[in-house]
Amino acid sequence: MIILHRPFIIHSPEMVSKIIKKRSPPRSIKRHHQRKTSPTKKNASLSVIASFNKSIKTCRRRIVRLFSKLVNIATTPSTARKRFRRGYKTLHQEEELPEFESNFIVPKALVFDQCLLPPLVSTTKKTIFLDLDETLVHSSPDPAPKTYDFAVTPSIDGQIMNFYVLKRPGVDFFLEEISKKREVVVFTAGLKQYASQVLDKLDPKGIFISHRLYRDSCKEVSGKFVKDLSGMGRDLSRIVIVDDNPNAYSLQPENAVPIRPFVADSEDRELEKLLQFFEWSEQFEDMRAAVKQCFNGGGTVGGGSADDHGFVQLKL
């Protein structure tokens, strides 16, 4: 015996077809469910998103770098920026370290900012500082003298001036010979505008004179220009200054070789005698000892007096 919980209704074929038609989904819904995304379009959209993310990361990195550079520039000390603009400088210790640290980590070095010359290329060479006017040449302004070797026309305080230069006898040979074994530095109290043109005539190829120092490198003491050799970065025992003016070497007279001022003497032979002195002084490790013997009432020179070798002891 079969018991039915619900009434069993038998429909006619017409009714069944109507019911099926009502329950069937619309065409638009059918088409929506049947539509599928192509793999090509899916990959293209993924690549666009990836490239966009990559661009964002790149921009972020660049912005970080830019701000880092701006911070570094803003925090750089002014003294450090100035240090890069100057030439011939050595590193030095900015802050004082404890004694035990400075001995083992960073030994104190010469602060080259205060030196007027770059480091010596050859440590075996000695250095000679030569004056210019009345030592190597004699110059006179207008009117032009009867005898002169060349003329220079520097601009001083906005005004063109004429200087007529007479070379000391033997100056060309002297510069060539003295520069073979020694470092030659011309140290003049003259203005750079004038002196640089004269030196260009004396050494046009720049092979004899290693360095040039002008008035701005002098010290003014009691209204006089003094040439201080202690600020050159050279060992004082291995340098000599040749000058006709005693005021110029008043700070280091023990390093000075005095010479008679040159004006217009065509028979002048002081540079020849000076070459003899430097040849003889090669036996001395300390040039001050050689200067003392020859020019400050010293002893003998090569077994005889200074006069035996033709040296002139000038007492100005």
Residues 175 and 304 in one domain: yes
Of the three residues 91, 114, 137, the one that is the final residue of a domain is 114
Inside any domain, residue 32: no
Q: Are residues 249 and 209 in the same domain?
A: yes
Q: What is residue 309's predicted lDDT score, i.e. its pLDDT?
A: 40
- 136, 171 in Cβ contact below 8 A? yes
Same domain, 192 and 231: yes
- Does 47 fall in a domain? no
pLDDT, residue 59, reads: 73
**Same-domain check for residues 97 and 223:** no
Flag whether 252 is in a domain.
Answer: yes
**Contact between 273 and 306 (Cβ < 8 Å):** no
Whether residue 214 sits in one domain with residue 107: no
**Residue 146 shares a structural domain with residue 194:** yes
Given 93, 114, 135, the domain boundary residue is 114
Among the listed residues 113, 133, 216, 265, the single catalytic one is 133
What H or E segment, with its residue span, contains residue 129?
Answer: strand 126-130
Domain, as residue range, for 91: 79-114
Secondary structure (DSSP) of 132-165 = -BTTTEEEEESSPPS--SEEE--EETTEE--EEE
Q: Final residue of a domain: which of 65, 98, 114?
A: 114
Give domain status of residue 216, yes or no: yes
Active site residue 133: yes
Q: Is 88 left (phi over 0), alpha (psi -120 to 50) or beta?
A: left
Phi, psi of 58 (to 5 degrees): -65, -45
* Pair 165, 99 in one domain: no
Considering the candidates 113, 131, 216, 265, report the single residue annotated as catalytic: 131
What's this model's pTM, rounded to 2 decimal places?
0.61
Shared domain for 184 and 299, answered yes or no, is yes
Residue 223 within a domain? yes
Does some domain include residue 5?
no
Residues 153 and 97 in one domain: no
Query: Are residues 86 and 141 both part of a single domain?
Result: no
Going residue by residue through the chain, which has 316 residues, state the pLDDT in tens, using 9 for 90 and above: 444 444 444 455 555 455 445 455 555 444 444 455 555 555 666 676 777 777 777 777 777 677 666 645 544 444 444 443 444 333 344 344 444 333 433 333 344 457 889 998 888 899 999 999 999 999 999 999 999 999 999 999 999 999 999 999 999 999 999 999 999 999 999 999 999 999 999 999 999 999 999 999 999 999 999 999 999 999 999 999 999 999 999 999 999 999 999 999 999 999 999 999 999 999 999 999 999 998 864 333 333 333 444 444 433 2
In this predicted structure, what is the pLDDT of residue 180? 94
- We report the CATH number of the domain holding residue 255 as 3.40.50.1000
Is the same domain home to 188 and 224?
A: yes
The answer to whether residues 91 and 205 belong to one domain is no
In this predicted structure, what is the pLDDT of residue 77?
43
pLDDT of residue 43: 63
- The answer to whether residue 35 is domain-embedded is no
Number of domains in the chain: 2
